[in-house]
């Protein structure tokens, strides 16, 4: 993971930085490794010729990268996303392995990819998830039901970034930990960062290997892991 954390950033600042970061990486790869990318694009195109028409990508690798670079990411709340998914033909025809049961459920990769690849046809930033499916340290929103979390969903792989604005208010943090039965004594060091002079801040994690997979167009993430850990291969 690549994990920046920014002081005095709120959720919108966090999403802006993550979007800019992804676009910067793609532009750098195009500017500095265009021949490699064109080779990989041709390799992917040859691979996809073996697939049925409905399984093939609508864009080639270079087209996809340019498209991501030149378009703003679609931004919507978790609540809006659930409504889109619930009303989709895909859900009504029971094509999801995990049917959309309603607000509060955790989205699966198939739901994320549907939003990106079928509905919006571009990367999506989802915000304000239900607090029950997110970590205790995410900042609670005024509605009492959601937290200031954000995920960026990319074509082909689903979630590529996960992050949030952090809960800097000690009283609310303690109350949330109590609700989730997280013992205070085990996290005294974390609570001290709030107790002794914190500031509002936000951060995210970018999956490095997922980013490499996205830029190279590789279909299996195992092919882009620099230091793979496979069963039975560790000597220690």
Asked if the structure places residue 178 within a domain, the reply is yes
Asked if the structure places residue 183 within a domain, the reply is yes
pLDDT tens over the chain, length 236 residues: 899 999 999 999 999 999 999 999 999 999 999 999 999 999 988 888 887 776 667 778 998 899 889 989 999 999 999 999 999 999 898 899 999 989 999 999 899 989 998 899 889 999 999 999 999 999 999 999 999 999 999 887 889 999 999 999 999 999 999 999 999 999 999 999 999 988 999 999 999 999 999 999 998 888 998 887 778 877 76
| Cα 68 to Cα 74: distance, rounded to the nearest angstrom | 11
Three-point CA angle 117, 121, 126, nearest 5°? 80
How much is the pLDDT for 117?
87
Q: What is the domain range of residue 118? A: 5-16+74-138+149-224
Place of tokens 């490499």: 212
Asked if the structure places residue 197 within a domain, the reply is yes
Asked if the structure places residue 60 within a domain, the reply is no
Please state the φ and ψ torsions of residue 89, each to the nearest 5 degrees.
-60, -35
| Cα 205 to Cα 3: distance, rounded to the nearest angstrom | 4
How far from the centroid of its chain's Cα atoms is residue 129's Cα? 12
Asked if the structure places residue 80 within a domain, the reply is yes
* H or E element, residue 158: strand 158-165
The dihedral of CA 83, 92, 134, 7: what is its sign? negative
- Domain count of the fold of the chain: 1
Three-point CA angle 85, 87, 165, nearest 5°? 35
Pair of tokens at residue 71: 């378009």
Greatest distance between any 2 Cα atoms in the chain: 60
Asked if the structure places residue 25 within a domain, the reply is no
Place of tokens 């931004």: 75
Collect all residues with Cβ–Cβ distance below 8 Å to 179 and sequence separation of at least 6. Answer: none
**CATH number for the domain harbouring residue 10:** 3.30.930.10
């Amino acid at each position: 993971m690549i994990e920046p954390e920014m002081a005095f950033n709120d959720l919108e600042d966090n999403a802006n930085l993550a979007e800019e970061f992804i676009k910067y990486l793609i532009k750098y790869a195009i500017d500095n490794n265009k021949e490699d990318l064109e080779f990989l694009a041709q390799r992917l195109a040859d691979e996809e010729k073996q697939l049925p028409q409905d399984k093939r990508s609508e864009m080639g690798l270079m087209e996809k990268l340019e498209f991501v670079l030149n378009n703003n990411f679609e931004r919507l709340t978790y609540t809006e996303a659930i409504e889109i998914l619930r009303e989709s033909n895909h859900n009504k025809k029971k094509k999801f392995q995990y049917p959309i049961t309603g607000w509060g459920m955790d989205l699966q990769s198939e739901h994320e990819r549907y939003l990106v690849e079928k509905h919006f046809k571009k990367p999506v930033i989802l915000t304000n998830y239900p607090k029950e499916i997110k970590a205790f340290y995410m900042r609670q929103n005024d509605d009492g039901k959601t937290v200031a979390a954000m995920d960026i969903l990319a074509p082909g792989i689903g979630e590529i970034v996960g992050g949030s604005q952090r809960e800097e208010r000690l009283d609310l943090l303690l109350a949330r930990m109590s609700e989730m039965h997280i013992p205070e004594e085990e996290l005294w060091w974390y609570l001290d960062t709030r107790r002794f002079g914190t500031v509002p801040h936000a951060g995210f994690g970018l999956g490095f290997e997922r980013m490499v997979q996205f830029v190279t167009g590789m279909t299996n993430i195992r092919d882009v892991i620099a230091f793979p850990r496979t069963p039975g291969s560790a000597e220690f």
